[in-house]
Copies of this chain bind each other. A is one copy, B any other.
Amino acid sequence: MSLPRILAIHAHPDDVEIQCAGTLGRLKQLGCEVVVATMTAGDCGSAVLGPDEIAAVRRREAQAAADLLGAKYYCLEFKDLQISHDNESRRRVTELMRKARPDIVLTAPPVDYMSDHEVTSLLVRDAAFNASCPNYKTQQWDPAPATSKIPALYYVDPIEGIDWYGQPIAPEFIVDISETFDLKLKSLACHSSQREWLRQQHGLDEYLDGCRRWSALRGAEIGVAYGEAFRQHRGHPYPHDNVLLKVLNAAGR
């Protein structure tokens, strides 16, 4: 099996790192090309700086985190708290899909605590399909060509692994990230502005500790130090085969 190309896309800077940087680290070790994308630049992530200013800070932080992971970084320049399930948004995410041409996509789960995450999930699911249809146009200046196939699509955990009512959402499978957990934590630490903001906004003062606890919990479910959980989208024409696990397991041998 040739190495798959990977796209990890989530709503805001730091979401990718929180949910799947350990897995990305493992895939990178295997030699996979990795693209990290965020829908927004995180323009609402500050109580002190204005939208442009905090966005500039966070684009730099996201770039630094991607550099650490050996990934190419894109920001799609949506606005925080304004992601909508409309055609302009579909076209933009589809253009990313055609530019990145991934074999495997990791993205936000369809149910989470806020619309930015949930709508991102829908848009990425749509785009993974739409990108392969040559008659679907993205209205960009130099549009990338249609992809040749639909990628395998995976949803990461919602925050805290719960649904709207606080009930756990069971993962389908868990990836052992014990080896790359340090890298994950370092990549997360790149988002220093967000750590500050969350402390002020939500009274959560333990950006890295929370990440460690959650990763340890998911790891414990499969008897390893640290883990990250996923569910695969297996709608009709999407690959039903779990290529992500196959790649990781093949490497383990």
A235 to B166, CA, bound (A): 6
**In the assembled complex, A80 has its CB within 8 A of some CB on chain B:** yes
Smallest CB-CB separation from A134: which chain B residue?
B47
- How close is A204's CB to chain B, nearest CB, in angstroms? 8
B80, B133, B135, B162: the one within 8 Å of A135 (CB): B80
Number of interface residues of A (CB under 8 A): 62
A200 to B158, CA, bound (A): 35
> A36-60, CB under 8 A of B: which get 1 and which 0?
0000000111110011111010000
Q: Across the interface, do A234 and B136 meet the contact criterion of CB distance under 8 Å?
A: no
B52, B95, B132, B142: the one within 8 Å of A201 (CB): B132
CB neighbors of B among A225-253 (8 A): 231-238, 240
Consensus secondary structure, chain A interface: loop
**In the assembled complex, A2 has its CB within 8 A of some CB on chain B:** no
Q: Across the interface, do B129 and A114 meet the contact criterion of CB distance under 8 Å?
A: yes
A190 to B253, CA, bound (A): 50
- The answer to whether residues A165 and B159 also contact, given A114-B129, A202-B237, A236-B113 and a CB cut-off of 8 A, is no
- How close is A218's CB to chain B, nearest CB, in angstroms? 16
B50, B90, B115, B140: the one within 8 Å of A81 (CB): B90
> A94-127, CB under 8 A of B: which get 1 and which 0?
0100010000000000101111000000100110
- The answer to whether residues A166 and B82 also contact, given A52-B51, A122-B115 and a CB cut-off of 8 A, is no
A165 to B231, CA, bound (A): 7
B99, B110, B164, B237: the one within 8 Å of A110 (CB): B164
Q: Across the interface, do B50 and A135 meet the contact criterion of CB distance under 8 Å?
A: yes
The 4 A-B residue pairs with the shortest CB-CB distance, nearest first, are A113-B235, A166-B234, A52-B52, A159-B236
What are 5 inter-chain pairs, A to B, with CB distance below 8 A?
Answer: A53-B53, A85-B85, A113-B236, A114-B129, A140-B140
